[in-house]
């Protein structure tokens, strides 16, 4: 029987980073050194425990966030290994929503790369305390101090070097712990090599003392207790220093920085110690904020085992045809066989099984307590972002925001049996992934699959074939455009018809005005009192919003428009929600027609990394694609081009970039904004 750990002995952490910084390799070493796995799986061999999906193993990248639990020094570390590719950024977002701490992994050569910035900002958004691990210290061009400076400049963070590297590039052999003034050396790359821990050698002592003094100065700036000792010139004990760094890390004032080489099995045990020392337990994070689903009253809950149940579903997977919901429990306990309440759907759900998750393996447990991250089977209708709570103490946690898809392909089934299966398969994939969207094009009759990028859609289609044996033909990717109006327009419409034996009447007058880019849709009423009863205003707004879902030009959603309700009329006993919704929709469509609609296309932020020799050709190609070069920055070994390019011109760019740079350049791309074509 495994000992049950107290809630303050739990650490819920995520491993976050840019693609190829070594997140999964770090996680694999953590699993090995904590005894969770007995063989190190390598990403490049397709054998990593956490990259268990066939698509992940083939491509050598993480696609889905994987959850596992492992023990370390009387603590329980629950880890989510997240993807680094921008197409799967929702996996990072929803993981950070439920985590108490994060380990940012940085390549010692590449430093802070664009996707590192994205995931770091996501962690900042959810106020997640972080520590940094500078990985790949054994590679040519590794520069620990440059990466620390980049963390400071690019991420606006306050990095605290708690370790110094011994040697660099292929001479990297260990680290100096500046908090305890000890030297840790790994004599070989063998994973079972014991760490040689000694006092700091004479050759490194001067540097170590200088940097320890800097650590104390930096901590004193953010911690009063250390500041007092520092000003009085009292010696600061190791224990006091570690406790102060912990306090400052949890308050997001410091980011402790460590270094190592995960592939060469160096630096992982000290990283695990740092997770325990510096990152918070569930009880040390701020109370959970929510509101009462009926009254809207703001509610706050400290994380504790006793009390009403509060949990959040942050991910849904379809495993062997069954729905597995990943839940973070903030308060109370969850027991198999119990009923829970979903305040979003206003309904009860039954928990049939609770599972402890280790990547794609699952272990059945009878109950789970606050602080745990578990899998649940039995929830029929609950979905990602929904709250689970006790019926007698309902609470609604803040729901997650999901990114809008920016790229579409048409999919059509290959055979009759594929045609029968396809709607069901797509529904299952959409339940798993909120950034995936499926719709029927009314004009062409095509089924359009929309997602975050070409790789995202490639993986979805591969999963349809591999996991669900559903084969589809894929059409050329289509861009998801938006529409807006070029000038102010006014229109009115009357609905006066008999429906199901009853007469309905409504008249609505609207004015549509163009808004600045990014303003979205706004509905306002400037009706004089008693023109139309207040109770029909929501029905009018619904009619306007429904009409704006399909623009006048090509049927794309309309954005950046304000709809102003300016007039109308009402007849006693004939007015109805139906009449006002239809009338408003008709008036809105007419105003859109008069407003000289035009198309907006998605513009992408593109970052290209290339050796200097290929810069001319790459910049010329981006200009030919209608791109605008925003900045060019250089690093010792590589140039970075930042550009804004229409998405419609970026299809097949990865192939073009490879051929223009002899395969030596790569790029990342994310949605920026919509702009006029």
pTM: 0.68
pLDDT at 49: 46
| Residue 27 DSSP SS3 | helix
CB-CB contact of 172 with 261 (8 Å): yes
Give the chain's residues under pLDDT 50. 1-3, 43-53, 56-57, 59-62
pLDDT at 43: 46
Strands (E), 136-277: 159-161, 163-166, 174-177, 182-186, 195-199, 255-259
Backbone phi and psi for residue 500, each to the nearest 5 degrees, phi listed first: 50, 45
CA distance 253 to 334: 34
Written as six digits, the tokens of 141 are: 């061009």
Count of Cβ atoms closer than 10 Å to residue 604 Cβ: 24
Written as six digits, the tokens of 295 are: 């009254």
pLDDT at 364: 85
| Residue 234 DSSP SS3 | coil
Q: Is 191 exposed, middle or buried (0-12, 13-18, 19+ CB in 10 A)?
A: middle
Written as six digits, the tokens of 26 are: 């770090």
């Amino acid at each position: 029987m495994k000992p049950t750990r107290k809630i303050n002995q739990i650490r819920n952490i995520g491993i976050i980073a840019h693609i190829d910084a070594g997140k999964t390799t770090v996680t694999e070493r953590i699993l090995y050194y904590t005894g969770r796995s007995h063989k190190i799986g390598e990403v490049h061999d397709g054998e990593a425990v956490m990259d268990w999906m066939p698509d992940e193993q083939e491509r050598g990248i993480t696609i889905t966030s994987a959850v596992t639990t492992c023990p370390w020094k009387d603590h329980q570390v629950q880890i989510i290994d997240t993807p680094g590719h921008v197409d799967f950024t929702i996996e990072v977002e929803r993981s950070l929503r439920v985590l108490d701490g994060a380990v940012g992994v940085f390549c010692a050569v590449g430093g802070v790369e664009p996707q590192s910035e994205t995931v770091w900002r996501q962690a900042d958004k959810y106020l997640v305390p972080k520590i940094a691990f500078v990985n790949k210290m054994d590679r040519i061009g590794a520069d620990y101090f440059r990466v620390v400076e980049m963390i400071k400049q690019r991420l606006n963070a306050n990095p605290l070097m708690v370790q110094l590297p011994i040697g660099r590039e292929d001479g990297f052999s260990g680290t100096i712990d500046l908090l305890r003034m000890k030297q840790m050396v790994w004599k070989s790359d063998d994973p079972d090599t014991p760490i040689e821990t000694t006092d700091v050698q004479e050759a490194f002592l001067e540097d170590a003392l200088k940097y320890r003094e800097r650590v104390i100065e930096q901590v004193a700036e953010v911690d009063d207790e250390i500041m007092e000792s520092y000003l009085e010139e009292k010696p600061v004990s190791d224990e006091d220093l570690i406790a102060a760094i912990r306090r400052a890390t949890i308050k997001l004032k410091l980011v402790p920085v460590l270094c190592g080489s995960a592939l060469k099995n160096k630096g992982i045990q000290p990283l695990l110690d740092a997770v325990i020392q510096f990152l918070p337990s569930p009880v040390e994070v701020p109370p959970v904020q929510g509101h009462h689903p009926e009254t809207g009253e703001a509610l706050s809950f400290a994380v504790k085992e006793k009390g009403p149940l509060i949990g959040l579903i942050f991910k849904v997977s379809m495993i062997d045809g069954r729905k597995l919901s990943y839940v973070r429990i903030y308060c109370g306990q969850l027991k198999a066989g119990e009923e829970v309440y979903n305040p979003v759907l206003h309904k009860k759900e039954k928990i049939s099984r609770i599972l402890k998750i280790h990547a794609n393996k699952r272990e059945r447990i009878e109950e789970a307590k606050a602080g745990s991250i578990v899998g649940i089977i039995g929830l029929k209708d609950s979905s990602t972002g929904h709250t689970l709570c006790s019926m007698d103490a309902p609470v609604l946690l803040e729901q997650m925001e999901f990114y809008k898809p920016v790229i579409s392909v048409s999919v059509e089934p290959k055979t009759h049996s594929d045609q029968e299966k396809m709607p069901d398969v797509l529904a299952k994939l959409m339940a798993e992934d909120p950034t995936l969207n499926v719709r029927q094009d009314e004009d062409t009759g095509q089924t359009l699959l929309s997602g975050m990028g070409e790789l995202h859609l490639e993986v979805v289609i591969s999963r349809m074939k591999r996991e669900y044996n559903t084969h589809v033909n894929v059409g050329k990717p289509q861009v998801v455009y938006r529409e807006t109006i070029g000038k102010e327009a006014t229109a009115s419409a009357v609905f006066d018809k008999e429906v199901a034996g009853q007469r309905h009447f409504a008249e609505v007058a609207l004015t549509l005005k163009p808004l600045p880019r990014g303003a979205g849709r706004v509905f306002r009423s400037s009706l004089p009192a008693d023109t139309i009863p207040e109770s029909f205003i929501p029905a009018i707004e619904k009619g306007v919003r429904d009409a704006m879902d399909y623009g006048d030009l090509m049927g794309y959603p309309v954005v950046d428009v304000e709809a102003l309700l300016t007039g109308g009329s009402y007849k006693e006993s004939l007015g109805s929600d139906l009449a006002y919704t239809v009338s408003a929709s008709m008036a809105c469509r007419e105003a859109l027609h008069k407003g000289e609609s035009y198309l907006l296309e998605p513009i992408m932020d593109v970052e290209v990394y290339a050796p200097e020799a290929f810069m001319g050709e790459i910049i010329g190609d981006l200009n030919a694609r209608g791109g605008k070069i925003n900045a060019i920055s250089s690093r010792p070994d590589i140039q970075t081009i930042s550009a804004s390019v229409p998405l419609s011109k970026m299809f097949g760019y990865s192939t073009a970039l490879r051929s223009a740079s002899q395969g030596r350049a790569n790029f990342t791309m994310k949605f920026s904004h919509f702009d006029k074509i």
